[in-house]
Structure 1
Amino acid sequence: MSLRNLSNLGRTLWFRLALWYSAIFAASVFATFFAFYHTIISVVEDREDSDLLSEAKEFSNILASKGVAEVKAAMDIEAESEGVDKIFFRLADLEGQEIASTNMSSWADLGLGKSALKKLAKGDKNIFETIALPGRGYSVRILNTLIGAGVVLQIGLSLEDHERFVAVFKHIFSITMAAMVIIAALVGGGIARWALFGIEKVTATAQEISRGSFDQRVNVKAKVVEIERLARAFNAMLDRIDTLVGGMRDVTDNIAHDLKTPITRIRSSAEMILIGADHPKESISLAMTTLEECDRLLQMVNTILDISEAETGIMKLKRTGLDVSDVMEQVADVYQYVAEDKGIVIHRQYPKGLHVSADQTRLSQAVANLLDNAVKYTPEGNHIYLDAFRNNKEIGITVKDTGRGIPPEDLPRIWDRLYRGDQSRSEKGLGLGLSLVKAVITAHKGRIEVSSEPGKGSTFIMYLPASDMAGIA
């Protein structure tokens, strides 16, 4: 494996999780063994000290009942039994003068400790020491204690067995620790791989999508809740992107279709002007037609740009505190004359004091588009109702007409860009008005609802967050 691959491995989440798991597990095992080791050592040492004290008590009883000679004989027997290189006994006075001892050939360099004698003289009962002797591979545990008036007993016990046990324990511990770390690494790697399996699925799906397989989705039946949530969120994002891409494709097709007619007219008008018309009036008419078609194209492009800005969240809104009745009044005044020409009555039913924080130009644009459609699709002699009301923390703006209505099959698509139902194709329009209304209201953190019944009319209700202040939002 190259250094680059090793470097990349060290940066992977799988490797880091496995490393952390192994480190934590190894630390836990080490702490457990360490505590166990010290407990065992402490128990063994306490047991050895207890055995030395028991030996001293027996010799104290012999001294009290039978004298020093019997103590000397008992010491020799005990030393020979245990091994003269394993244990020794020595009797002395508080001045350090030796009274009797067992075979000291294996302990020639070991004398009576002056500090221990001083402590005994001051009244201390039992003095324990652990001493490392030159030339011996093991330490010695020594007990200095008084077994009679002015009689000091020194017992020395080789810690060879004890230290061999400790060495074996350390060896076993080292091997076990190494094995546990390896096992922990393997188990940690397996757990990390299992936990990250869903993420690898998401990554693989993303790579497939980047290669052009846009219909790919992640299996959401993951064994880990967090991975399942990630998969669902990823799939939802893909669905949203797919919808947007489909919408862009439809918009492109619709723009190509809707631009074809005005561009053809402009071209024909330009050709006629170039060829030369028979009368100046015809040239003026052709020029006016060209201007109208250009204006229509510009309006279409600008409206599409407005919708895109609102849908992507980059539309700049100049929010101020508004009374919706003022906005509706201004829009109603503009369409009043158009409605009167068709014999349509606009009923104004909006009260004062309903405030919102909104961009006045954009809100007026949204109300105007709904009212324009109402006037356009309402037959002569009918009615249009403008209303406003409070609904908890929202302000509702209603535009209701008594026109031809919208067929049920068209309702889900009326918000699509450039979509025009069969009944609306006979009227002039771009098919962008309702798309712009929804985009503007959504940009204001609002919502819009519609209900319609063919032959009886349609009702549009825009909801905006209510504002208690009429000043700056």
Structure 2
Amino acid sequence: MLKLQSVKVRLTLWYALVLSVFLAIFSFMMYAELARALYHDAEKNLAWSVQKVDEALQTKLKKQTKLLQSLTRSPQESLKPFPPETEKIIKEVILEWERQELFLARSQHTLRVVDLSRQDIVSNLKEWEKEIIFPNFERDSYFMESGASYQTIHFKNKPFRLYYKMLRVGGYPVAVIQSAYALHETEKTLKQLGSMIAIGIPLAVLCACFAGWFLARRFFKPVDSMTREAKQITAAHLDSRLPRTYMGDEIDRLAETLNEMIDRLEHSTRAMREFSSDVSHELKTPLAIIRGELDLASRKTRSREEIDKMLLVISEETDEMIRLVNDLMILVRSDARQLRLDKQHLHLLEVLEPLVDRFQERSRQKGIRLIWNPSGNAVIEADEGHFKRVMNNLVDNALKFTDSGGEVTVSASTQNEMVIIEVKDSGIGITSENQPKIFMRFFRDEKARSREGSGLGLSIVKAICDAHAWQIGLESIPGQGTLIRIFIPASEVGAESE
């Protein structure tokens, strides 16, 4: 059973409704125009036949001088019968004209000429047509005023259209010309047309519905295929894609858009799985260490010094987990665009100089030269805590991946109304194919896997820079080192001399 919820059904029904209305309006207009044209042609032919008779008889009668002299009469007597002598002349002229011309005999229309007493002078009525009762023209006020009139009568259940015209000679009426046209053939034609319309429109709409349903099924077949395929796509099976028609139409563009969305979902799901796996791995190590220390402490009695060492290890691993969780919270808030920034004006010398000094001891222990190279005392607008975290991560990363005897340089300068902060090292560097991935979460180059770290440092740097609308750039050559630059837009920069 067809369901109205189906787009195909609704589309077909709307198509049928619109087509029905259109066909009904068109048929009504066609029927009305045809009826008007047929009746107009009938009246036109009637008038033409009567006009021909009128012109011919006027020409003949005007030649009768004696007749014209006897026509003088008052307006009150205009429709009264003429004297017998005058009537005789009129009839003889009319009959003589018909014998010579045979106009009525040859005419396809029913014609007759009657005198003012409504007696036939000449006619071509045959058989039953002679029984047609013509209305009294004296009772037609329009005819009496204008001298011509149309009427419709019914005789033996057959409609006739009549046309009357007064035959005048010298301005005086002498006879009436009457013409009749049987309308039953016209009405029969119109009735047949009406029957054809009454039967044809429903049939046409029915056929159109079947055709519309067939076309709708054909056009929506790709949508049905997409629906079936979409039901098979789950979070565990995102490798399937919706079928495309490759016709460049709306349905094909919809499938293409949905496939792009599934691509993004697959990428996000894969990234989430990798993210969960990496988080589990990062948390597993400190938890295992804590569990091992607790197991050792529970096996035998330990001295106070040993317990203090175990607690120190547990505290350090707990701090590492807290740091990891805090890093993850920053990334989660950044993804949700909920990373809160408490912006304020910061003097780079006052912020970066103490920060670099805190890494001096670590750099000396590793045999690395840490250089602080400021240029002026620029003022920037930033969240102090997040800015320090960015610089801590960059300097920590540089020291982590630079071997003994290397060099790490931190510099800040102002160029073209932009503050540029650079952290450059002479470490192991990053291959060109891995450089686009370096800001991804938990990503670590093959050479970096042997060194400590979670792989979140640069991801956090990127998230904080994005939140501040700063740009970050990276240049690296394997075996020679890495340079990371942070560009602070001019709209957020001030300058202040030292």
Q: Same fold (TM over 0.5)?
A: yes
1:329, 1:130 → 2: CA distance? Answer: 112
Work out whether residues 406 and 426 of structure 2, in 8 Å CA contact, stay in contact via their aligned partners in 1.
Answer: no
Q: Deviations over 1:393-423 (max 9, x none)?
A: x987654333321234543443333233343
Change (3 A) 1:34 1:421: same
Match of 2:373?
347
1:390, 1:120 → 2: CA distance? Answer: 106
Change (3 A) 1:284 1:24: same
Q: Deviations over 1:282-317 (max 9, x none)?
A: 212211221221222222233223323323xx2314
Match of 1:384?
409
1:203 Cα deviation after fit: 1.7
2:159, 2:449 → 1: CA distance? Answer: 107
1:35, 1:389 → 2: CA distance? Answer: 82
TM norm structure 1: 0.78
Change (3 A) 1:268 1:318: closer
The gaps in structure 1 that reach 5 residues or longer are none
> Could you say which structure has the larger radius of gyration?
2
1:160 Cα deviation after fit: 0.6
Work out whether residues 12 and 216 of structure 2, in 8 Å CA contact, stay in contact via their aligned partners in 1.
Answer: yes
Q: Percent identity?
A: 23
Work out whether residues 26 and 181 of structure 1, in 8 Å CA contact, stay in contact via their aligned partners in 2.
Answer: yes
Aligned pairs for 1:216-365 (under 5 A) are 216-275=240-299, 277-311=301-335, 314-318=336-340, 326=347, 330-331=351-352, 333-339=354-360, 341-342=362-363, 343-349=369-375, 352=378, 361-362=385-386, 364-365=388-389
Aligned with residue 143 of structure 2, among 120, 124, 139 = 120
AA matched with 1:428: E
1:361 Cα deviation after fit: 4.5
- Other structure's SS at 1:345 match: strand
Match of 2:189?
165
Match of 2:52?
58
1:344 Cα deviation after fit: 0.5
1:82 Cα deviation after fit: 8.3
Match of 2:5?
11
Aligned pairs for 1:77-116 (under 5 A) are 87=110, 89=112, 91=114, 93=116, 98-100=118-120, 107-108=132-133, 111-112=135-136
Work out whether residues 129 and 141 of structure 1, in 8 Å CA contact, stay in contact via their aligned partners in 2.
Answer: yes
Match of 1:178?
202
Match of 1:21?
15
Q: Which segment drifts farther, 448-457 or 146-155?
A: 146-155
The gaps in structure 2 that reach 5 residues or longer are 62-89, 364-368
1:78 Cα deviation after fit: 8.5
1:236, 1:417 → 2: CA distance? Answer: 23
State the aligned residue count.
447
1:445 Cα deviation after fit: 6.2
1:210, 1:127 → 2: CA distance? Answer: 85
AA matched with 1:206: A
Q: Which segment drifts farther, 268-277 or 54-63?
A: 268-277
Q: Deviations over 1:225-250 (max 9, x none)?
A: 32222222211111111112222222
Q: Deviations over 1:250-289 (max 9, x none)?
A: 2233233322221121112223343454321221221122
1:469, 1:46 → 2: CA distance? Answer: 90
Work out whether residues 244 and 252 of structure 2, in 8 Å CA contact, stay in contact via their aligned partners in 1.
Answer: yes
Q: Which segment drifts farther, 325-334 or 243-252?
A: 325-334
Change (3 A) 1:455 1:45: same
1:153, 1:389 → 2: CA distance? Answer: 114
AA matched with 1:52: L
Work out whether residues 63 and 71 of structure 1, in 8 Å CA contact, stay in contact via their aligned partners in 2.
Answer: yes
